[in-house]
Amino acid sequence: MGLAWLSLLVALGGFAPRGADVVTSRRGDIRDFAVAARWVYVVTEDHLYQLDLGSLGLLHSLHQRGTYDVSSDGRLNRAALDGTGGGATFSVNTLAPLVDINVLLTCGAVGCGYCELLDLANVTRITHQEGYELGPIVPNNASVGFAVNLENQSYVLSATQGNAINDKGRLIIKEPHIRLHNTNKTQFGGLFSYTDKTRNPEIIARHQSVQFVDGFQINSTIFIFSNVNLTSEHPKVRLLWFQTKATKTQTLRSMQGAILDCCAGTARRRLVSSSVVPGDRSVLWTGIFTDHGTTDTELAVFDISPPSHTNSYRDPDFIFKDTKETQVGTKGRK
Ligand SMILES: *[C@@H]1O[C@H](CO)[C@@H](O)[C@H](O)[C@H]1NC(C)=O
Ligand SMILES: *[C@@H]1O[C@H](CO)[C@@H](O)[C@H](O)[C@H]1NC(C)=O
Ligand SMILES: *[C@@H]1O[C@H](CO)[C@@H](O)[C@H](O)[C@H]1NC(C)=O
Ligand SMILES: *[C@@H]1O[C@H](CO)[C@@H](O)[C@H](O)[C@H]1NC(C)=O
Ligand SMILES: *[C@@H]1O[C@H](CO)[C@@H](O)[C@H](O)[C@H]1NC(C)=O
Ligand SMILES: *[C@@H]1O[C@H](CO)[C@@H](O)[C@H](O)[C@H]1NC(C)=O
């Protein structure tokens, strides 16, 4: 991801300003990007850009400021391009292209959790808007979200770091979790739901301090990378594997894991970014590791091919949990 990131920054710097759609290249501006089909999607502080993959020319841009309407299911009414009428900013932390169904999913926060479904070919065509908390609602908190395919059904996997949120004097603790969300309202539970009939399966972390860095699916394996116990004396870089199965529960239950030890015992125990190298039979993966002070970085290549399944696997940092479904219906939807 490191190399691609650099070339994107350069490409964005090369844009000629077009009226209100000025793409700036300030480093801090680009928060995330995704490549799918013939397009590149770039999220900045307050815009979503769609570029042509071949030329990196700007095709569409979507302004993320507006007024948030809490009535109905939640809707961001975009501000006029002259900047008037926008008090809220949709801060995107999950950007997931769903190529099979021609949809770009964006989720994040406008004060509360919020998601939109956009036309993959033209992001200014918004097909669905809803107040739903899929990623973290604290802007800038780390999360990973990407499309996964379980036996021909599309889902969005969200891996969200934990949080302590002060809600009118009441401290709400949110555990770091991994969930599989529906992408179609015809799937059981409705759009975005992570329920699996009568249970709500998820992976939760045993400790609060988890930062998800990257994740992807290759054939029938889902890979997720995270930093665990970042703030402690003994931080670790963790890899989790899941086998894609018929249901969300079976898939999440198949979790296995490993600790990625980088650099011959030196203290580089934090993963900054990563990239996968597609291979024929093995999966090679490159990670950039750093020490606590992020002064010293090292690039390491691992063979992360999944191990054969063992039924008795117990992970030191993550655990499968499925609570019974208690609420059904739009407002209490899981
Ligand atoms: C949702 O699924 C139904 C039934 O499979 C399909 O007809 C429809 O096109 C899907 N909608 C989207 C947005 O993919
Ligand atoms: C993109 O979608 C917008 C909104 O529906 C529409 O006005 C515009 O013509 C579309 N652009 C292209 C190139 O299809
Ligand atoms: C989440 O974001 C808040 C606000 O930006 C920040 O104070 C907090 O440290 C972040 N949490 C983690 C675990 O990074
Ligand atoms: C998935 O779709 C492919 C192509 O349409 C089909 O050959 C395959 O049998 C399907 N698999 C499942 C599990 O439904
Ligand atoms: C992670 O940190 C927690 C809280 O400080 C501690 O209880 C736990 O033992 C640590 N886990 C590991 C594996 O270091
Ligand atoms: C993934 O599947 C493709 C097509 O079946 C196959 O060619 C490739 O070797 C597989 N890759 C891995 C890493 O298993």
When mean pLDDT is compared across 104-108, 112-116, 288-292, 330-334, the lowest value belongs to 330-334
Token reading at 44: 């900045």
Please check the confidence at residue 314 and state whether its pLDDT lies above 50. Answer: yes
Q: Is 186 in the pocket of ligand 1 (CB under 6 A)?
A: yes
**Which CATH number fits the domain that encloses residue 292?**
2.130.10.10
Token reading at 144: 């990973």
Number of domains in the chain: 1
- 320 pLDDT band, cuts 50/70/90, is very high
Please check the confidence at residue 25 and state whether its pLDDT lies above 50. Answer: no
Say whether 4 sits in a helix, a strand or coil. Answer: helix
> Rounded to whole angstroms, how far apart are CA atoms 74 and 92?
16
Q: Is 184 in the pocket of ligand 1 (CB under 6 A)?
A: yes
Of 157, 48, 183, give the one whose Cα is nearest residue 102: 183
More confident residue, 62 or 296: 62
Please check the confidence at residue 289 and state whether its pLDDT lies above 70. Answer: yes
Please check the confidence at residue 4 and state whether its pLDDT lies above 90. Answer: no
- Residue 279 has φ and ψ, to the nearest 5°, of -125, 175
The H or E element that residue 10 is part of is helix 2-13
Whether 188 is covered by a domain: the verdict is yes
Of 113, 165, 111, give the one whose Cα is nearest residue 135: 113
Q: What pLDDT sits at residue 265? A: 60
Mean pLDDT of the chain: 82
Please check the confidence at residue 11 and state whether its pLDDT lies above 50. Answer: no
> Rounded to whole angstroms, how far apart are CA atoms 262 and 153?
36
Q: Is 101 in the pocket of ligand 1 (CB under 6 A)?
A: yes
Token reading at 226: 């995270």
Q: What pLDDT sits at residue 1? A: 26
Please check the confidence at residue 297 and state whether its pLDDT lies above 60. Answer: yes
Long-range (24+ apart) CB contacts under 8 A made by 11-14 are 11/51, 11/56, 12/42, 14/56
CB 225 within 8 A of CB 191: no
Whether 316 is covered by a domain: the verdict is yes
Which residue reads 């999950």 in tokens?
94
Whether 317 is covered by a domain: the verdict is yes
Q: What pLDDT sits at residue 269? A: 78
Q: What pLDDT sits at residue 294? A: 59
pLDDT (tens digit per residue) in 122-153: 999 999 999 999 988 877 777 899 999 998 89
Of 52, 190, 50, give the one whose Cα is nearest residue 115: 190
Cβ-in-10-Å burial (0-12, 13-18, 19+) of 332 comes to: exposed
Q: What pLDDT sits at residue 332? A: 47
Cα 263 to ligand 2 centroid, rounded to whole Å: 50
- 229 pLDDT band, cuts 50/70/90, is confident
- 7 pLDDT band, cuts 50/70/90, is very low
> Rounded to whole angstroms, how far apart are CA atoms 334 and 331?
9
> Rounded to whole angstroms, how far apart are CA atoms 126 and 52?
19
When mean pLDDT is compared across 215-219, 253-257, 329-333, the lowest value belongs to 329-333
Long-range (24+ apart) CB contacts under 8 A made by 49-54 are 49/23, 50/122, 50/123, 51/11
Q: Name all residues whose Cβ lies below 6 A of ligand 5.
A: 207, 229, 232, 234, 316
Please check the confidence at residue 327 and state whether its pLDDT lies above 90. Answer: no
Token reading at 293: 């002070």
> Rounded to whole angstroms, how far apart are CA atoms 288 and 249?
32
Ligand nearest to the CA of residue 104, numbered in listed order: 1
Whether 16 is covered by a domain: the verdict is no
Whether 102 is covered by a domain: the verdict is no
Which residue reads 């999913």 in tokens?
105
Question: From its phi and psi, is residue 264 left (phi > 0), alpha (psi between -120 and 50) or beta?
Answer: left
Q: Is 151 in the pocket of ligand 4 (CB under 6 A)?
A: yes
Q: Quote the domain boundaries for residue 250.
A: 141-324
Whether 124 is covered by a domain: the verdict is no
Cβ atoms within 10 Å of 92's Cβ, excluding its own: 28
Whether 162 is covered by a domain: the verdict is yes
The residue contributing the CA closest to ligand 5 atom 2 is 229
When pLDDT is averaged across residues 208-217 and rounded to a whole number, the result is 90
Whether 330 is covered by a domain: the verdict is no
The amino acid present at 313, given as its one-letter code, is Y
- 333 pLDDT band, cuts 50/70/90, is low
Q: What pLDDT sits at residue 16? A: 31
Q: What pLDDT sits at residue 83? A: 59
pLDDT (tens digit per residue) in 59-118: 999 999 999 988 878 999 988 766 566 789 999 989 999 998 999 999 999 988 999 999
